[in-house]
Amino acid sequence: MLNWNVRFNIALDVASCLEYLHHGTVPPVVHWDIKSSNILLDSSMQPRVTGFGVLRKETLRPHSYKVKGSFGYVDPEYILTRIYTTKSDVYCFGVLLFELIAGRTPKAGLLEYVELAVINTKETVDGRNLLIPGLKTNMTCKSSMAWLL
């Protein structure tokens, strides 16, 4: 199981990659398919973002009839408008963050799991309900993802 330090570094490195693609390139580049299976870890547990759709904003065809993307990661706004933007990448990144915290993929019921955890809190949201059971006691590092909770 990945500890909090590794999970935090994965999230930080993927966020840095997206920030560079969206703001460090002209024109901005959207990844199109941010998901856990497109984040590879090298031998020192450093994440490498792969699976680039590499679409530039001006090449996107609005109102395409076929929805592209992976189940559970697709931005609802993109589904409605058929326009994929950098915001869609950010939505996918949010799903990836939930995966890092909960240890579940969308195919394994991640979204339902998040909804149930929030419902069970009776109006006081405690993010610890989402944590992988083994990580609840493993939150000792100062640079943990506890700031998300």
The verdict on whether 13 is a catalytic residue reads no
Token pair recorded at residue 70 = 């992976």
Of 33, 75, 89, 126, catalytic:
33
CA 30 to each of CA 5, 46, 49, 105, 116: distance values in angstroms, whole numbers, following the listed order: 27, 22, 13, 22, 32
Q: Locate the DSSP E strands across 11-92.
A: 29-30, 39-41, 47-49, 55-56
Give catalytic residues, as residue numbers.
33
